Amino acid sequence: MAFGIRRQELQQWKDRVTRGEIAYLTHYWLDPRFPDSRTVTKVGCANVERLAAWCEENGLPSRYIHRRDAYPHFDLFGPKQAEVLLRAGEWEQLRRFGLLTEGKEGSEHV
């Protein structure tokens, strides 16, 4: 079950995916298979070859790309989710969904 995103955000993600961009969409998520995860980031791209390359560049198995709909995507959650969002500079999503923690001297880190 997904919640915590606005319709406009979802549409912007879909538009970027359709254009063949690598697009990130984080939302709250409940799934009994993953009881320790409260958020998921969908990393989408209509160009599946580009998405597969992105997966490999990030140390993720491309065989887990969801290819069943018009918006191919890879689901990120857990420690790798925050690591990838940080590397991608997705600060708003990191802050909004509580994926950053305060470090020493006020610096933020994952």
* Per-residue pLDDT reduced to its tens digit, 63-73: 999 998 899 99
Report residue 103's pLDDT band, with 50, 70 and 90 as the boundaries.
very low
Report residue 107's pLDDT band, with 50, 70 and 90 as the boundaries.
very low
How many percent of the chain have pLDDT more than 90? 73
Which one has a higher pLDDT value, 29 or 20?
A: 20
DSSP single-letter state for residue 40: E
Mean per-residue pLDDT of the chain: 88
Do residues 46 and 72 touch, judged by C-beta distance below 8 A?
yes
pLDDT number for residue 2: 62
The pTM is what? 0.86
Contacts of 13 (CB under 8 A, 6+ apart): 23, 24, 25, 42, 44, 71
Distance CA 98, CA 10 (A): 19
